[in-house]
Amino acid sequence: MNCEKLSNPSMDKKKKRKHMEKKKNHKSKSIYDILSLELIHIVLMRVPIRHLARLKCVSKLWYSLISDPDFAELHFHHSPVATNACFFIENEAMVYFIYLDDNDASQKVMSPPFKKKPSHFAVLGSCRGFILSYRDPHFLVVWNLLTGFSKRISYSHIVARLKYYVVRLPYKFHLYGFGYDASQDDYLVVVAWQDKDDHYHLDYLSLRTNSWINLDAALSNLLGSYNWNPPGLFFNGTIHWVPSVLEAYRDVILIFDLKERTFSTLSAPEQPVKSACSYSILAVLGGCLGLYYRNYDSRKTEIWVMKEYKVHSTWTLYQIPCEVFQPVCFYSHGDIIGRGYTFSDKRGYFIHNVRGDLLKHFKNLCCPIRRAYAVYTESLLPLPSDIKDKDKKNKRKENCM
């Protein structure tokens, strides 16, 4: 005789209740019950910078973590780096933002941070996620493309004393540059100019104090000795300028130390005769100081890279078979990416190896060869003056509570 197990209704209800409670407790667990705050911080540090802005919307905690200036500083130094070239083109009031890596490339169009469309707008340099640009008539603009933050700077007090009055800024100043002084946590805009009495002057703007400071005492006697390429390159805590045309290795690269507020010089690499090379331009390539120019004789672009900073013997030459080639960056494995065109009329962005062999050609991106551009690394960093303004607002709120 088979005995059937009789079910107990009360026991079934208890089991169901326990199962539902377990299920409910499991569903109510948040990400913070699974991951510690320290681990979330580590994960966010590894997220590519362009995605972090969207992750601010996940929760108040994530917003607070990502908005913290200390997090922004750490992420800038330790996150996966994407190299981007930023181009200001078309009617000089639009920005083409080009993302480049060794596998792919993309672009997006952005509008500069102005209420009214400027008649002239140009990029002058970049530093730690900020672009320095010029907007007519007498304004500079510091702009973080990722966060949208911008700051307008007037230099009208200098314009009235300039020897040569011309509309566009690159020709108003003998030298200009934009860099970061880590010792003071301050961004500086440096300009060297000539007054109506032929006297040279050096001024810099501190973005921490929002004030212009005169540094005539620091002027180098080389300032009027060369026809300088006015845009300065920020690298290794200093701003660098090079003569427009290098005639011999005796020609120098002029250096301004942002911490010491002093000038020094660096010997350029050995060069061909003046007639063989064109306009010289500085660049940061593979974490090293680089210099490039077009060689008319060989119809190639010659790129010199100083493998060890301030050691003249470490200048290394690379030759790219492009009539015009503007290097954007060197990758760790030695490939060079840049924009330009060849004598066979190929135009766009190219990847070459160190021997000059063409590896890849991106041709479906906007590529204005003669427009100013800046190699730009995205960041969430705020300006020091912006942090101070926020602190003042927070103190006012606390006092009102």
The C-alpha atoms of residue 117 and residue 130 are separated, in whole angstroms, by: 21
Q: Token pair for residue 53? A: 């802005």
- A 10 A CB-CB count for 253 gives 21
Query: What DSSP letter does each residue of 307-325 carry, written as one string?
Result: SSTT-GGGEEEEEES-SEE
Q: Please tell me the predicted confidence (pLDDT) of residue 398.
A: 42
Lowest-confidence pick of 147-156, 256-265, 369-378, 391-400? 391-400
Query: What DSSP letter does each residue of 328-341 carry, written as one string?
Result: EEE-TTS-EEEEEE
Mean residue pLDDT of the chain comes to 79
CA 283 to mean position of chain CA atoms: 12
Confidence bin at 5 (pLDDT 50/70/90): very low
Span 296-351, pLDDT tens digits:
888 889 999 999 999 999 999 999 988 888 898 887 677 888 888 776 677 788 88
The C-alpha atoms of residue 387 and residue 298 are separated, in whole angstroms, by: 51
Q: Please tell me the predicted confidence (pLDDT) of residue 26.
A: 52
Query: What DSSP letter does each residue of 254-307 carry, written as one string?
Result: EEEETTTTEEEEEEPPP---GGGB---EEEEETTEEEEEEEETTTTEEEEEEES
Span 90-125, pLDDT tens digits:
455 677 788 777 677 778 887 777 777 666 677 888
Residues of the chain with pLDDT > 70, as a percent, come to: 74
Q: What is the dihedral of CA 26, 31, 35, 36, to 10 degrees?
A: -120
Residue 174 in this model has a pLDDT that exceeds 50 = yes
pTM here is 0.82
